[in-house]
Amino acid sequence: MLGNRFKKKKAVSESKAGKRQIGGMKALLTGSFLSKERVVDALPFVFFLTFLGICYIANGYQTQKVVIDLHNTNNSLKELRSEYITTKSDLMVISKQSKVAEATVGMGLRELTSPPKKIIITEEEREEIIND
């Protein structure tokens, strides 16, 4: 007999839950749930959640901006690196001895055929040059 009473209570509570869901949906659609005191008491928490949502959205925008800036900086770095390599290779080409000799021919200079000689100055000659 105890089992029968329990089944009856369970059936009654299930029907009440169904009515509550329908009533809650009706209150949501009509907006009548906003007039209750519980909502007024929960407003600080709702405002806090709204503030957190706004912070979350702002953080997403800030992160997106940082990612775009990082991408642009990486592209600039790649461009500058390729410009550096190109300039370095051009400098290596124009600083070759043969290219320098070609460039100096137009100025009236000529290339040395003998190796340069080292000039050795003694200490006395150095002091004499400095004192003069």
Please say if the pLDDT value at position 123 is more than 60: yes
* Whole-prediction pTM: 0.48
Please say if the pLDDT value at position 119 is more than 60: yes
| Pairwise pLDDT comparison (78 vs 99), residue with the higher score | 78
Contact present, 73 and 65 (Cβ < 8 Å): no
CA–CA gap between residue 87 and residue 76 (Å, rounded): 16
| Pairwise pLDDT comparison (106 vs 34), residue with the higher score | 106
pLDDT tens sequence across 43-54: 889 899 999 999
Please say if the pLDDT value at position 1 is more than 80: no
Query: For residue 13, what is the enclosing H or E element?
Result: helix 2-30
CA–CA gap between residue 15 and residue 30 (Å, rounded): 23
DSSP state of 96: S
